[in-house]
Structure 1
């Protein structure tokens, strides 16, 4: 049977931590395109899970509990695992604090249903006018984090990496090492890195943001350094996996040769400059060229590598690829 003829089972996963005042309103706004709603109580001190059980009448809701607080990523992963066991096909992650419009779910799942992509995520930066209510510190922080995540994930066309409004196909989710994904606030950025490693195709979905009386648990100042460390680590892992472990191309040569030339030029130039300062004798033109030329060539090669890395994007979604393989095996 062609996968297009089947009805996709859609699940919404809502991490619940200090969202007691907003969670019922969020659930009420989730449309009929969703089959199951997993509300995951992440050891909430306000007992959000029990509150949902007592006051929510939506029969689609299943309340899950974490025995200890695991962070937003840990709560979402719990919902993912249960949903996979329940046979869900698409998972949408929506925060329970009211900052995300549940009416947008259909826009997040449509590209996945059409098998155009495996993963969709919200982008609040698409429309400049919607950024006016965003606190300036969050605006600046998101811009910096977006720049870092572009390099670490390899998805250079994406923005707003900390946006938690996402959707993912079960096909792509089963390819990910769920036990290795970060469980705290680095979850969204880390999962982008993991998706690139398995060759998943993703896209941004333009959306606005709602800022009311809800209290955000995300502190840009506190997460900046951990995000920097995590992104640098993922960058090196991605480069090693994609260009040396699983494949080797001209871009691999450009990276190695460019790095060696740049480092040689810098080290040689600094040493010659130090010697010139201590001796009081100016460096010869030949010495200057011997230091400058490797730096220039190294930079050119590294820029060529970055250009190749930008163009190295998944062309076909895993959902379509695996579906096509399954269909061919039927004949």
Structure 2
């Protein structure tokens, strides 16, 4: 039986409850490697969606022409929309077809499909809502990673801890992930990023839902495949998105959804530190211009707010780190009317 075909705009109607686990594979110039990826998808997967994201090399046509696995469905974007958009197209189709757990892997051969059972097991057991890969867990995997990627991923991991609130996870840009479909139903999918910031935005949205996220260790696999991203063009969008997500998360979790001592610490800490710094600088400039030494009282007025503010900020940060969701959300959610 040959793979089925469809378009992103013309999604097929739901096929009932037969599909339990689905795999979504965004494709862009993956003709050389996609066959090996598809052949390695284990039997526990019920449906495989290959999304041709406006591929110049016609990856979708290649899959339709060469693949014989009846689980494969090819979806298409007429124009390149980005990895996030392709993933969302696959998610929507998988949800329409009744998938309960949806795994996303890339088509470039860097993610071992035989590890899929590891990613879905915590979700099946009700221990997680979302699982993602972590290439930093094993030293051998880190040594295999190119130096540029190692440094970049380490920096992004630190930024993501602030912006998402998931302080226990690492390697946030890892695209090997699995999610329970009920979480996607709670998300504003139209607001998720369509580009390479998709994983970053996904973690932020999961954080606002207080979903449980679990890291799954796996080895790095690097061949001679070429990245389509230009690092110099990514710096500002990444910094901007992480900063925006951090402030939105703090407002939502500590002021809109809840209010506690930590809420006051998030406000008073930075205000006191800022006051101390500004007062200290102005006092130093004034004393220097007059050629006199600052008095002990002036120094204390500048230093004390900084010390108190720093302690309040660290206390709020410590509360945030300890305030991790620990109970999976999806077992508590009502099942969709057509869910098994």
TM over 0.5, shorter chain: yes
Residue pairs, 1:111-190, within 5 angstroms: 111-190=122-201
Residue pairs, 1:118-267, within 5 angstroms: 118-267=129-278
Relative to structure 1, is the Cα distance of residues 121 and 171 closer, same or farther in structure 2, using a 3 angstrom cutoff?
same
Cα RMSD (Å) of the superposition? 1.5
1:108 is the counterpart of 2:122: no
Q: Please, which runs of 5 or more residues in structure 1 have no aligned partner?
A: 1-5, 327-331
1:274 is the counterpart of 2:282: no
* Structure 2 Cα separation of the partners of residues 112 and 66 of structure 1: 30
Relative to structure 1, is the Cα distance of residues 67 and 234 closer, same or farther in structure 2, using a 3 angstrom cutoff?
same
Partner of 2:101: 90
1:199-245 Cα shifts (integer Å, max 9, x gaps): 11111000011111222224444323211111001000000110011
Q: Please, which runs of 5 or more residues in structure 2 have no aligned partner?
A: 1-16
Asked if structure 2 preserves the Cα contact closer than 8 Å seen for 1:176 and 1:194, the reply is yes
Partner of 2:322: 311
Structure that is richer in helix per residue: 1
**TM-score normalized by the length of structure 2:** 0.91
* Structure 1 Cα separation of the partners of residues 119 and 302 of structure 2: 52
* Structure 2 Cα separation of the partners of residues 192 and 7 of structure 1: 29
Partner of 1:329: none
* Structure 2 Cα separation of the partners of residues 82 and 278 of structure 1: 69
**TM-score normalized by the length of structure 1:** 0.94
SS in 2 for 1:132: helix
Partner of 1:55: 66
1:19 corresponds to which of 4, 22, 30? 30
* Structure 1 Cα separation of the partners of residues 196 and 333 of structure 2: 31
